[in-house]
Amino acid sequence: MSPEERFERIEQSMQRAQERWELSERISQERFARIEHNLEMCIQIGMRTDARLDHAIRLAVREARAERRKRREMDARLDRLAANVQALVDSTKPRGNGQP
């Protein structure tokens, strides 16, 4: 094999290596772009999930407060009712010396 043929083979080999490197670089860039896109989508999904959770928590807190308020109101009503019932019962008991 002559030096010119060797040189030609080396050039061809280098050309193929350059083409493989360029292909690999392009594939890597495409993959990196997809990864960046997927990461951005995950961030957006996470932000929407956070917003939904924040909203759900606010609703749950509001509902719990309303329920506590209703229970306090019901307890107060029951206390008044119990006092009225007790007053009614007391009014039907005989008073001193057997007098009603």
Q: What is the pLDDT of residue 71?
A: 98
Q: Which residues contact 1 (CB under 8 A, 6 or more apart)?
A: 9
Stated as kind and residue range, the H or E segment containing 96 is none
Q: What is the pLDDT of residue 93?
A: 81
29-86 per-position pLDDT tens digit: 999 999 999 999 999 999 999 999 999 999 999 999 999 999 999 999 999 999 999 9
Would the pTM count as exceeding 0.85?
Answer: no
DSSP state of 97: G
Q: How far apart are CA 14 and CA 16, in angstroms?
A: 5
Grade residue 97 by pLDDT with cuts at 50, 70 and 90.
low
Q: How far apart are CA 2 and CA 75, in angstroms?
A: 107
